[in-house]
Amino acid sequence: MPQIQRPIFPTSCTAMTQELAFEQREGTVYYFNGHLPVFSHPVDDIASFRFFTSQLISNGNASQGEIVRAFGVPLVTVKRSCKKLRDEGAAGFFRPAEPRLGHKLTDDGRSFVRGLMNTTINLRPNLARRELRVELQGQANPIHDDAVASFAPNSTPLRLTIPERTCG
């Protein structure tokens, strides 16, 4: 799993552009325009860092390259932050991440599989696993239900069909 590359905040005052600079003091990063402080955040607050640097870029006060060089962060991270500011605004940086769905087969999933297995298009198990996003563990059957026939990865084709998808 990729790890976050945190920005580098030296303790001395560091110039980002001719007008903008930043400095870390006692666990807080301060940003200056000339000699006036314009923003500050704790060193560990990545969301505020991404928000403020994206604002600098969108307002034309700094370029993406200047942010990358000044803080040592990847360019793709800066681009993602700018896109988030454009698409979601400031709130996008501070809302909690949406929970991810697991890959366990639930009762709803079992009934979905039953419906697929009782239809007429032939699909191989690998394709069925991709469609259902179910990962078989060895030769085990992911559906522990007597109503559904078990299958192994190298068995004969299953008779499945893909349900119609509706927009909405």
H/E run at residue 78: helix 75-88
- Residue 94, token pair as written in the block: 């501070």
- Find out whether 66 and 17 touch, Cβ atoms under 8 Å: yes
At residue 13, the pLDDT reads 86
Distance CA(41)–CA(31), nearest Å, equals 9
* pLDDT, tens digit only, all 168 positions of the chain: 567 777 767 778 888 988 999 999 999 999 999 889 999 999 999 999 999 999 999 999 999 999 999 999 999 999 999 999 999 999 999 999 888 776 777 788 777 777 776 664 455 555 555 555 554 444 344 444 333 444 444 445 545 455 555 554
Q: What pLDDT was estimated at residue 134?
A: 53
Task: Read off the pTM.
Answer: 0.58
What pLDDT was estimated at residue 143? 46
Predicted confidence at residue 97, as pLDDT, reads 84
| Distant-in-sequence, close-in-space partners of 118: CB < 8 Å, separation ≥ 6 | 159
Under 8 Å between Cβ of 119 and 161: yes
Tokens of 112: 């979905």
With contact defined as beta carbons under 8 Å apart, do 78 and 68 qualify?
yes
What's the sign of the alpha-carbon dihedral 63, 66, 70, 72? Answer: positive
Radius of gyration from C-alpha coordinates of the chain: 26
Q: Among 40, 6, 43, which Cα is nearest to 21's?
A: 40
